[in-house]
Amino acid sequence: MRGQVQGVGFRPFVWQLARRLGLSGEVSNDAEGVLVLAAGPGLDAFERALREEAPPLARVDGVESVAAEVAGAGFRIVASGGPGAETRVTPDAASCADCVAEVFRGGRRAGYAFTNCTHCGPRYSILRGLPYDRAQTTMAGFAMCAACGAEYDDPADRRFHAQPIACPACGPRVWFEREGREVPGDAVALAAEVLARGGIVAVKGLGGFHLACDATDPMAVALLRERKRRPAKPFALMAPFGVVQAHTRVSAAEATLLADPAAPIVLLQKAGLALPEGLAPGQDALGWMLPYTPLHHLLCAAVDRPLVMTSGNLSGAPQAIGNGEAREMLAAFADGFVMHDRDIARRLDDSVERITPEGPMVLRRARGRVPGTLPLPEGFGGAPQVVAHGGQMKAAICLVKNGQALLGHHLGELDEALTWEAFLQADRDYAALFDHRPEVVAVDLHPEYRATQHGRARADREGLRLEEVQHHHAHLASCLAENGWPLDGGKVAGIILDGTGLGSDGTLWGGEVLLGDYRGFERRAWLTPAPLIGGDMAAREPWRNALVRLDQAGLSDWADEMFADKPLAMARMAAQRGVNAPLSSSAGRLFDAVAACLGICAEGQSYEGEAAMRLEALAAAAPEAGHPGHDFGIGDAGAGLRIDPSPMIRQLCEELGAGCAPGTIARRFHAGLARALAAPARALVETGEAKAVALTGGCFQNALLLDEALRALDGVPVLFHRKTPANDGGLALGQALVALARMESD
């Protein structure tokens, strides 16, 4: 059996299955997966059951069987073979129902914060090397007691070969401390007291520290925002499922996702009992996760109300993982710490996901999802090893090996010094952990991206082939790869909408229709470029984008009135002369412009995407589903079609002047933009130049925009993201596949 089959209870599962069917033989781990020798009746039923009844954390990619001579009677589990770098490492998994029940009933693990078994608990976050056994994890320093050893050695026990197995007699311990000193008493009870008084507590989790407070207390929420200097970015929440239901509208699919072993943060619509607006200002949804470790379960039970559970970091920096690091970084934020002495091997943020009308969507791929892999599409068989280093924002690394692509965990913005250190560590970490020896390094085309500079330097240093991949081509290839599009599956029309990426013509792209495949692309349509006044400042202050779009639409007088307190003359001069005002077709900046015209975040955004997220929430609440939306102009630009937002801007201002509700205007903008970009993409399919349409780029995290685009493309084959981020978190996957396609073409 190949796939995610080690460290998930697969050998005892095979042992029990073989005994049930009366088979003789043996099962072992080896360097390629799980090897079974079996003889006896019912072998066909045995093979079917290996797939259909596999343990909950297993992912069986393939079962290969050949005739064999099997000696001996009975069935046994034998020692592992080679080191296993060819096999899958299992992501961390939320506590299973059996372990949670054990924590809350009497017995030797009652109230024990590190209870786990083969079906749950830490994996990747504690792993230091392969093979996956206790000596290669951060549990190495905790010698098993006799009782845990007996469970570990019993194939009939759910803790058989559970590497993090522990109990209060032999495992890690948890304590509460204040001002660097341990406070005597029960750590969970002491933390609950601080939270009940409106305080802030730093809690050590699986992949790092969280900062927690009472989510029902607006003063506590405001205090956490003040201390963390995070004025508006939504906070994640944690609570048992019954509490979540009291504050949200949870569909069956959302309930299933919440209960997934990955335990992601799931965006859920607000409903029922109201919570403070300060948790997610201007948003119609809150991000919820269920408790996913025994410590979280115990803390939630002690507090008995929803908790804010946000990353323990300075805004923009990676979260703390070490006890000393947390004391230094979080002392100014927290009124107390819930500490423990099991080390965290690597930082892992919480994954963020949502359920859309079209199915699941991954916004941030991290704890619980990594290091999961994707099979390479047809045509990439025998691919050499590749490392791709992604982009500057939402950095993530991708490795290709043995017909699989491993897209690494979310790292963040590489301009941040600590995130850059985490990126370098991840690059070393993945290479060592998976015995990865690349022949090719793939990077973004932008020469100033730190990931690009790093990849170039590595290629030079190690004598590797370097492939530079245009940003939006990588987005397109990422969407194709996730959907299993074959190497020779034909060209697709890619609608790629995001912030900015360096185009092959030297300008900044961000609102394109490309015709292409893994091997190459042509730019067939794009949004009319507009200057980004102040460069990066345009992404932080939406009024700048509104100004240039209003001026382009012949509505300078509207801009003068809307933004009378801004330095408009100076801004217009910069735009006219092109001084620190590069042209860009960015769809992200167009969202900012529309938001600013509607009075949303015009002065500035406190976090990336704030204006667009508020605009989406406003539009989603409007009752205008099905409206064709605002008009965009489409004109011939020689090498392709230019999609002009000016007619939309003029309609928007007319509606504002007529007293139309901002939500209605926002809804019409979403529908109009989707329709305008869908038209040239649909035409490419209908003329036979493209086989399908691919929707990708960070703007397609917007569930409303995705829904409107799919409506506008009704009847046309459409590919979009479900398992990998549409944003730059999926960029490295596309880079790797483009690099492989180029090598195949040589």
- % the chain with pLDDT above 70: 99
Maximum CA extent, the chain:
90
Cα–Cα distance measured from residue 387 to residue 255, given in angstroms and rounded to the nearest whole number? 36
Q: What is the mean pLDDT of residues 478-494?
A: 98
Report residue 5's pLDDT band, with 50, 70 and 90 as the boundaries: confident
Choose the weakest-confidence range: 22-31, 258-267, 298-307.
Answer: 22-31
Nearest to 427 by CA among 455, 463, 391: 455
**Is 577 assigned a catalytic role?**
no
- At 735 the pLDDT is 98
Q: How high is the pLDDT of residue 6?
A: 81
Token pair of 106, please?
């009497």
Q: Are 640 and 527 in contact (CB under 8 A)?
A: no
At 470, the amino acid letter reads Q
Clarify whether 313 is annotated catalytic.
Answer: no
Question: What's the token pair of residue 414?
Answer: 């590489």
Rounded Cα–Cα distance for residues 31 and 230 (Å): 46
In this prediction, residue 408 carries a pLDDT of: 95
8 Å CB contact between 493 and 524: yes
Dihedral sign computed on CA atoms, order 593, 598, 602, 607? negative
Give the mean pLDDT of 462-491: 98
Residue 411 has pLDDT above 70, yes or no: yes
Of 2, 11, 364, 544, the catalytic one is 11
Please give the structure tokens belonging to residue 220: 């506590």
DSSP 8-class letter at 306? -
Rounded (5°) CA angle 742-681-733: 35
**pLDDT number for residue 181:** 96
Residue of 609, 621, 575 lying closest to 497 (CA atoms): 609
pLDDT tens-place string over residues 502-557: 999 999 999 999 999 999 999 999 999 999 999 999 999 999 999 999 999 999 99
User: 727-738 pLDDT, tens per residue?
Assistant: 999 999 999 999
Residue 366: closest CA among 304, 450, 448, 422:
422
Q: For residue 87, what pLDDT band results from cuts at 50, 70 and 90?
A: low
**Residue 639 Cα distances to 495, 608, 636, 687, 694, angstroms:** 17, 32, 8, 18, 21
Task: Give me the pLDDT at residue 382, please.
Answer: 87
Q: Determine contact, residues 25/43, Cβ cutoff 8 Å.
A: no
Domains of the chain (ranges, CATH numbers): 2-77 (3.30.70.100), 89-172 (3.90.870.30), 174-340 (3.90.870.40), 371-483+729-745 (3.30.420.360), 495-702 (3.30.420.40)
pLDDT range class, residue 88, cuts 50, 70, 90:
low
pLDDT for the residue 744: 86
pLDDT band at 480 (very low <50, low <70, confident <90, very high): very high
Neighbours of 38 (CB within 10 A): 22
Query: Averaged over 109-123, what is the pLDDT?
Result: 96
Residue 14 has pLDDT above 80, yes or no: yes
Mean pLDDT of 195-205: 98
Stretch among 391-395, 418-422, 609-613 having the lowest mean pLDDT: 418-422
DSSP code string of 611-634: HHHHHHHHHHTSS-TT------EE
pLDDT digits (tens, 9 = 90+) for 20-51: 999 999 998 887 789 999 999 889 999 999 98
DSSP state of 90: P
pLDDT, residue 317, reads 80
Question: Rounded CA gap, 456 and 447, in Å?
Answer: 9
Q: For 89, which DSSP code?
A: P
The phi and psi torsions of 435 (rounded to 5 degrees) equal: 45, 50
Average pLDDT over the chain, rounded to an integer:
94
Distances (CA, A) of 69 to 17, 24, 59, 719: 20, 11, 28, 47
pLDDT at 62: 83
Contact 52, 66 (CB under 8 A): no
Q: Give residue 726's pLDDT.
A: 98
3-class SS of residue 584 = strand
CB atoms inside a 10 Å sphere around CB 417: 10
Instruction: Provide, rounded to the nearest whole percent, the portion of the chain with pLDDT above 90.
Output: 87
Residue 155: Cβ within 10 Å count: 18
Confidence of residue 106 (pLDDT cuts 50, 70, 90): confident
Place of tokens 């990931």: 451
Q: Are strands 285-289 and 718-719 parallel, antiparallel or unpaired?
A: unpaired
Tokens at 710, concatenated: 């799919």
- Please tell me the predicted confidence (pLDDT) of residue 86: 55
C-beta separation of 695 from 720 below 8 A: yes
Residue 84 has pLDDT above 60, yes or no: no
pLDDT for residue 625: 66
Instruction: Write down the pLDDT at residue 81.
Output: 61
**Residue 76 and residue 258 in contact, taking contact as beta carbons nearer than 8 Å:** no
Residue 498 to residue 688: CA distance in whole angstroms? 27
Helix, strand, coil % (nearest 5) of the chain? 35, 20, 45
- Mean pLDDT value across residues 304-328: 92
What's the rounded Cα separation, in Å, for the pair 627 and 608? 29
Mean pLDDT of 452-467: 97
Which pLDDT score, from 0 to 100, does residue 653 have?
Answer: 97
pLDDT at 746: 78
2, 19, 20, 29: which is the annotated catalytic residue?
29
* pLDDT (average), residues 339-347: 96
Backbone Cα Rg of the chain: 27
Give CA–CA dist 195/618, Å, rounded. 33
Burial class (CB in 10 A: 0-12, 13-18, 19+), 143: exposed
**Using CB atoms within 10 A of its CB, is residue 156 exposed (0-12), middle (13-18) or buried (19+)?**
exposed
- As a whole number of angstroms, the distance between CA 575 and CA 571 comes to 6
Lowest average pLDDT, out of 74-83, 114-123, 569-578, goes to: 74-83
Q: Please tell me the distance from the alpha carbon of residue 51 to that of residue 237, in angstroms, as a whole number.
A: 36
